[in-house]
Amino acid sequence: MLKNDLLLRAAKGLEVERAPVWLMRQAGRVLPEYRATRSKAKNFIEFVKNPELACEVTIQPVDILNVDAAIIFSDILVIPEAMGLPYQMIESKGPWFEHTVKNKNDIDNLIIADAEKLNYVIKAIQLTKKELDNRVPLIGFAGAPWTIFAYMIEGSGSKTFSKAKQFLYTQPELSHQLLEKITLSTINYLKAQVSAGADIVQLFDSWAGVLSEKMYYEFSLNYISKICDALSPLVPVTVFAKDAHYATQKISETSCHSIGLDWTMNPETARKFSSNKTLQGNADPCLLYAEESKIIEETQIMLRAFGKNRYICNLGHGLYPDIDKQKVKLFVDVVKEFTW
Amino acid sequence: MLKNDLLLRAAKGLEVERAPVWLMRQAGRVLPEYRATRSKAKNFIEFVKNPELACEVTIQPVDILNVDAAIIFSDILVIPEAMGLPYQMIESKGPWFEHTVKNKNDIDNLIIADAEKLNYVIKAIQLTKKELDNRVPLIGFAGAPWTIFAYMIEGSGSKTFSKAKQFLYTQPELSHQLLEKITLSTINYLKAQVSAGADIVQLFDSWAGVLSEKMYYEFSLNYISKICDALSPLVPVTVFAKDAHYATQKISETSCHSIGLDWTMNPETARKFSSNKTLQGNADPCLLYAEESKIIEETQIMLRAFGKNRYICNLGHGLYPDIDKQKVKLFVDVVKEFTW
């Protein structure tokens, strides 16, 4: 039995004493303790593949920041790798794929990944669950199929993802074939995460915002919806589609439990379009650069706007590495001490 | 008298026979003719500062693509340069500033630019007006103050503009001082463009989308509104705030004439929030990678969604350099031949 199950109750729409709080990228460079652990691995990929190190950094924010949940340390690009498309993480540049998907043959050569290929994540989850000792829930996650597709075609990050979008526009059938393979791999992967102990899962659609509304429904939300249907009977599912401001209502029509919002979204408007779901977010990460009184004031405004129930407090995007750890702690404390 | 004044009539909300069409970045690398002219200049900055070359590439799309307007070839970063902060354009990287704004002293050292400092743009406009011989209107433009501010603090492009946002959060008063100086410079600049012959002006707020709604109103729209008030008695003003999906209604409350929309915006929703303004946009630039039948189909759907009046057909962002010129022509032709 979890000692603190606020996150799960909030996600399911049950009564809570206060809103739970965690932060995207809480297991990250914002913590000096993370950087110390990170330095034990030769490179980022080795780091991700080491269950002991992954466990260590996953638990750090629970100990140090006192957040209401841990999120397993990993990377969304483990899925392309497990499907047959390895990548490197290049310092201060981001991910880079030597081979990208260009045609039908490339898609046919990819496998539908099973959990065995991602055993290092599964081991990390098992280890973390043991070490957490039921203090807080453990969040599992995966990239949404469109975001994974975008990297597999583009081969790296991009301002426009115009190559990936060109593929959608010129090869819609092949696009669906690839998205289907990614979706099946992701379902296998998330189910294994749940079997290993993940209490809730989140889908990150980081590049949702480069698609038009119509393209988003066809090439992204369709597949997110399938993953929600496969996972939501097992654990709560959160969908975070960054910059897909137009999609709140359609996301609320999937079987997900909660919807992540970036900081450009208005809490009241989002509530109107998704009254049946829990909302998660959405402070501007840059707010944590501000002085203390400003952080307190803006966080309290946000808490009031969302209300106590059906709400998970978070940022609207991941923590930036140069944010002061004390400011992050302050944010967490403000949420925990807020009088509802 | 302009032979084709469709754009001006559409911007002012007057009756038109059909919607006018032009494309952001139509004077750009998508045209082989542009690349030929570009090769005559030593570098990008020299190119921008050469009125004859700027005139040449400004007129090319009118001759070649048959668009309903020319937009003066220039760069939004001529304003920081005129204020005392020069930049370089680094091939395949983008703009880079050797000196950035860090404190009050840096802001005090910047001048409010007058048109004299930007004489090369004014000359380019005069030359272009003469060469265009009243065939179509000439669009002048400037960056919106927040976007210019973002580059002046950040010193280059950025995925998050977290340094610029940190400045807003930690130095709100200094931020307003700098934004005020940029605004006054921009008003001087745009008024001079109009005196030189610009028939309509557009403000590009390229980095609107990194701000939250509240921050956007305080640090961006306030200043856009001042520029609209100064220019709209002279010529129609278009405000294009990319990714500021939440701001359509507030933008419609300024004295601008038309509102540019990126491709994530729903035409019907935008109409609802800005019934008194002309809308401009908003095809996904990547649509022009598709095969001809798809381009025709999607462009016609868009035309029907916006309707004939109070509408300027365009993309939702600039043309990408690797788009086939023939596809761009097709897009223009579809708009011109559409039966309303």
A284 touches chain B (CB under 8 A): yes
Q: Which of residues 138-167 of B touch A (CB under 8 A)?
A: 159-160, 162, 165-166
Which of A30, A212, A265, A320 is best to mutate for the B interface (most B CBs within 10 A)? A212
Residue type, B314: N
Q: Which two tokens stand for residue B177?
A: 């001082």
- Long-range contacts of residues A59-63, Cβ cutoff 8 Å, at least 24 apart: A59/A128, A59/A131, A59/A132, A60/A27, A60/A31, A60/A33, A60/A34, A61/A22, A61/A23, A61/A26, A61/A27, A61/A31, A62/A132, A62/A135, A62/A136
C-alpha distance from A291 to closest chain B C-alpha (Å)? 7
Task: Tell me if A282 sits within 8 A of A262, measured CB to CB.
Answer: yes
Size of interface A-B (CB pairs under 8 A): 83
Q: If you measure CA to CA, which chain B residue comes closest to A269?
A: B246
pLDDT at position B239 is 98
C-alpha distance from A229 to closest chain B C-alpha (Å)? 26
Q: Which of A9, A25, A223, A310 is catalytic?
A: A25
pLDDT digits (tens, 9 = 90+) for A116-170: 999 999 999 999 999 999 999 999 999 999 999 999 999 999 999 999 999 999 9
Count of Cβ atoms closer than 10 Å to residue B333 Cβ: 16
Task: Tell me if B186 sits within 8 A of B141, measured CB to CB.
Answer: no
Task: Tell me if A10 sits within 8 A of A59, measured CB to CB.
Answer: no
Count of Cβ atoms closer than 10 Å to residue A251 Cβ: 25
Task: Give me Rg for the CA atoms of chain A.
Answer: 19
Residue A90's φ and ψ, nearest 5 degrees, are -95, 125
Q: Which residues of B169-196 are buried (b: 16+ CB within 10 A; e: fewer)?
A: bebeebbbebbbbbbbbbbbbbbbbbeb
Distance of alpha carbon B153 from alpha carbon B103, whole angstroms:
10
pLDDT digits (tens, 9 = 90+) for A266-278: 999 999 999 999 9
pLDDT at position A321 is 96
**Contacting residues of B for A320, CB less than 8 Å apart:** 160, 162
The stretches in chain B having pLDDT less than 70 are: none
Whether residue A266 and residue B213 make contact (CB cut-off 8 A), yes or no, is yes
Its pTM surpasses 0.90: yes
B217 touches chain A (CB under 8 A): no
Active site residues per annotation of B: 25, 29, 38, 75, 151
Of A263, A266, A294, the CB nearest to B169: A294
B70-71 and B258-260 as β-strands: parallel, antiparallel, unpaired?
Answer: unpaired
B213 touches chain A (CB under 8 A): yes
Task: Give me Rg for the CA atoms of chain B.
Answer: 19
- Nearest to residue A68, comparing CAs of A15, A3, A113? A3
Q: Which residues contact B283 (CB under 8 A, 6 or more apart)?
A: B263, B298, B299, B302, B314, B315, B316, B331
In the DSSP assignment, the letter for residue B244 is -
A25 as an active site residue: the answer is yes
pLDDT at position A185 is 98
CATH number (3.20.20.210, 3.20.10.10, 2.60.120.10, 3.40.50.360) of B6-260 reads 3.20.20.210
Q: Residue A107: pLDDT above 90?
A: yes
Distance of alpha carbon A100 from alpha carbon A336, whole angstroms:
45
Domain A24-267 has CATH 3.20.20.210: yes
**Contacting residues of B for A212, CB less than 8 Å apart:** 263-264, 284, 316
Q: Which residues of A105-119 are buried (b: 16+ CB within 10 A; e: fewer)?
A: ebbeebebbebebbe
